[in-house]
Amino acid sequence: MVDYPAISEQLDDIESAREDGHRKIDWAREHMPILTALQAEFDAEKPFEGQRIGMAMHVEAKTAVLVETLAEAGADVAVTGCNPLSTHGDVSAALDEHPKITSYAKRGVDDEEYYEAIEAVIAHEPTVTVDDGMDLVAAIHEDYPELIDSIIGGCEETTTGVHRLRAMDDDGALEYPVFAVNDTPMKRLFDNVHGTGESSLANIAMTTNLSWAGKDVVVAGYGYCGKGVAKKAAGQNANVIVTEVEPRRALEAHMEGYDVMPMDEAAAVGDVFLTTTGNRDVITADHFERMNDGVLLANAGHFDIEINLDELAEMAVDEREAREGVREYELQDGRRLNVLAEGRLVNLASPIALGHPVEVMDQSFGVQAVCVRELVENGASDSSSEEGDQYEAGVHEVPDDLDREIAEIKLDAEGVAYDDLSDEQEEYMGSWQHGT
């Protein structure tokens, strides 16, 4: 195992970094009633006592509240980033001060350091993993399979991670249970849609200081994230163009009133391009050839492979930093294409990025916290629960009652009342005998 130092041993001005980090975390916690309620519940029982939780997440203030919630519930937590640019060093430093937390997350690491930090987390021999993108699960299976027997299970935050896990599961290679947290209504319908929509648009606007109004905005992929981005861009008076490869999603976008066309055509029309596909090579040399001078290119998908930057760099005769977080590529004919946040998820990796709104992440991380609780209570083979060890190796849907629990806490915190089914209604909904 690699000997990689925690963040406190890497930062120069650790005291002031911690102070800034704590301030950011405190602000986030103030607006996270779900995690606050769960922490109150965990405080009494310390349900994670004796567990070691390994995490690879975007280490910023909201994530820090989740990390602290798990640690306060009794776990020893080791955490690192899941993207080289999304870590907030001050938040990482503040986390590392906690006696039950070790943080290895550092902003701006190269590939080698990134994976060394992942290995450093694995060196804590986690009993539970919490991933955003599946890097921890992959590294454990590839390089440390001897640890798998002592792992109760894992939780996966994002679409790309769940895709990778399902592919692994289909190959028969996934050797412990993992909850697809991404796929719950309380995560996907809010985080992917509203979170990605709001935070991507806000970050592009703040990074460039340019308006959305009147712009032709090309949204690649009309999935959960794409829907949010398209809706919010339209709400800012942009003209939205959608590209898709899935016919029903293309039709959905068309019926919403957006222009739908292939990227080959959209390339010549767009002012701003935002990829949200989770796929690779969505924007390539053929498209760069057709683009107008001054376009903005950004990605909100998990990995930095949606816009082919190698091809763009090859085509460019010159490159410069046009603004902080904006790299301008000048082509032979003088056209300049601007790439934001190095093609990494723009809402988390641009210099001023704060990620999703706090309220949205409270929901996603609420689901994460109850999934860890579920694994600890009912996933371990030596679990004291009668239902212990009920999760086989593989990808698991999150039990619906856990997702509902988070919705109920949130509605309660928002002061929103809603109806209950009457006994008659419940009986009617559950019967097949009642017809016309």
By the criterion CB under 6 A, which residues form the site for ligand NAI? 158-160, 191-192, 196, 220-226, 243-246, 249, 276-279, 282, 300-302, 345, 347-348
Select 99 or 247, whichever has its Cβ closest to ligand NAI. Answer: 247
Please state, in angstroms and rounded to a whole number, the distance separating the CA atoms of residues 153 and 175: 9
Nearer to ligand NAI, 60 or 191 (CB): 191
Min dist. Cβ of residue 294 to ligand NAI (A): 23
Closer residue to ligand NAI, CB minimum distance, 102 or 158: 158
Minimum CB separation of residue 306 from ligand NAI in Å reads 8
41 closest CA partner among 380, 417, 391, 372: 372
- At its nearest, how many Å lie between ligand NAI and the CB of residue 280? 8
Q: Considering the complex, state which of residue 1 and residue 251 has its C-beta at the smaller distance from ligand NAI.
A: 251
Smallest gap from residue 366 Cβ to ligand NAI (A)? 16
Which residue is nearest to ligand NAI, using beta carbons? 223
Q: Compute the least distance from the CB of residue 63 to ligand NAI, in Å.
A: 12
Shortest Å distance, C-beta 285 to ligand NAI: 15
Residue nearer to ligand NAI on the CB measure, 13 or 246: 246
Quick one: 72 or 191, whose CB is closer to ligand NAI? 191
Closest to ligand NAI by CB, 208 vs 350, is: 350
> Residue 131 CB, nearest distance to ligand NAI (Å)?
11
